[in-house]
Amino acid sequence: MPMFNIIVSLFVTMLISAGITPFVRKLAFVLGAVDKPNARRVNKTAMPTMGGLAIFLAFTFATFVLLRPQFNTHMLFSLFLAEAVIIITGMIDDIKELSPKQKLFGLTIAALIVYFLAGIRMTEVNLPFVHFELGWLSLPITIIWILGITNALNLIDGLDGLATGVSIIALFTMGIIGFFFLTVSEVGTPIMIFTLVAALIGFLPHNFHPAKIFLGDTGSLYIGFMLSVLSLQGLKNVTFVALVIPVVILGVPITDTAYAIIRRKLNNKPIMQADKHHLHHRLMQMGLSHRQTVLVIYGIALIFSMISLLYPLSTFWGNVFLTIFLLLGLELFVESIGLLGPKRAPLLHMIRSVVKKLAKDNPET
């Protein structure tokens, strides 16, 4: 298919997503998929959820109709089956809240479909000085990757347009890297990624603050699932770069999730217990408005994405040092906003101690 036709199809996908979202909004009210205000919610009035259904419908129409020749039939139908499981799980949760175990069951079923039917999986590790086939470990590692990324995206869906915008940035970057660094035979993957980006862009105006509809678990689980599965396409052979790039691209949800787990462990709280100390909560507690918080996190996501673009262009040791400096910078940022708590900033305390010692040893004359 000519590139012009692909671009037109992506534009049509965006329009379809934007056009059907109001109808999904009405359907959410009819089905009772409404998010009511409570102590943990930012919204002050009841809001329709289930917005992910509009994204799913637009994406499905585009892949099965507009861009059908670009995709392998078996992979497309297998992935659709997994997507349907995620969407059904999310819709049930938005209408009638599911327990964490019930949601985990739905996610696991979808992940197993991806592994066994679609054949999307990690198969081998090829790092410097280390090369081995994953064998039976391929299944649990693939499942853990899918569940981890899906739940990470679900956790940051706390403000209008936040998860949608961060996902657009992450997916667009993933598509750019896939388009320029994958072989021609794999071009279907970046096209599928850009198709999902188009569906998300069409939905964003309805979801950005002040939102008319929320993603709901229908959307956050679906987008997180698609992020995890599409990123897996570059992880069949786990090289250092192939592993690091999607992790860096998804830096915002992964960081927020990782530090949430650490924070709850340090405070002797259950890992699954919700709190109001996520990245977006901390920024708002520091005085930023709803819209400003979302834009700041968009900016952080863009920084992660720009850094990820350096990995394919650098040497191995360049990538190692880039990763070290990225982790140090990330830790300083996290400590400066108190993501783990005001008294838990070891790196900042160490830097301050060194500065004080230097100032004491070298007083001004």
What Å distances lie between residue 334 and 246, 263, 330, 347, CA to CA? Answer: 20, 12, 6, 10
Give the residue numbers spanning the domain of 74: 3-238
Instruction: Tell me if 339 is assigned to some domain.
Output: no
Query: Greater confidence, 131 or 61?
Result: 61
Instruction: Tell me if 354 is assigned to some domain.
Output: no
Contact call for residues 177 and 312 (beta carbons, < 8 A): yes
**Number of neighbours of residue 332 by Cβ within 10 angstroms:** 13
pLDDT tens-digit series, residues 284-330: 888 888 899 999 999 999 999 999 888 888 888 898 899 999 999 98
Query: Greater confidence, 349 or 14?
Result: 14
Residue 43 has pLDDT above 80, yes or no: no
Q: Please name which of 181, 230, 278 lies closest in space to residue 76, comparing C-alpha atoms.
A: 230
Instruction: Tell me if 42 is assigned to some domain.
Output: yes
361 known ligand binder: no
As a whole number, mean pLDDT of residues 72-92 equals 95
Banded model confidence at residue 42, pLDDT cuts 50, 70, 90 = low
Residue 41 has pLDDT above 70, yes or no: no
Instruction: Tell me if 334 is assigned to some domain.
Output: no
Instruction: Tell me if 285 is assigned to some domain.
Output: no
Q: How many domains does the chain have?
A: 1
The per-residue pLDDT for 94 is 94
Instruction: Tell me if 257 is assigned to some domain.
Output: no
154 known ligand binder: yes
Query: Greater confidence, 186 or 329?
Result: 329
pLDDT tens-digit series, residues 120-168: 888 887 766 677 788 889 999 999 999 999 988 888 888 899 999 999 9
Share of the chain above pLDDT 90, in %: 49
The per-residue pLDDT for 350 is 83
The per-residue pLDDT for 239 is 67
Tokens linked to 274: 């919700």
Contact call for residues 341 and 349 (beta carbons, < 8 A): no
Strand order in the sheet with 237-238: 130-133, 124-127, 237-238
Instruction: Tell me if 219 is assigned to some domain.
Output: yes
Q: Please name which of 174, 105, 181 lies closest in space to residue 143, comparing C-alpha atoms.
A: 105
**Number of neighbours of residue 257 by Cβ within 10 angstroms:** 21
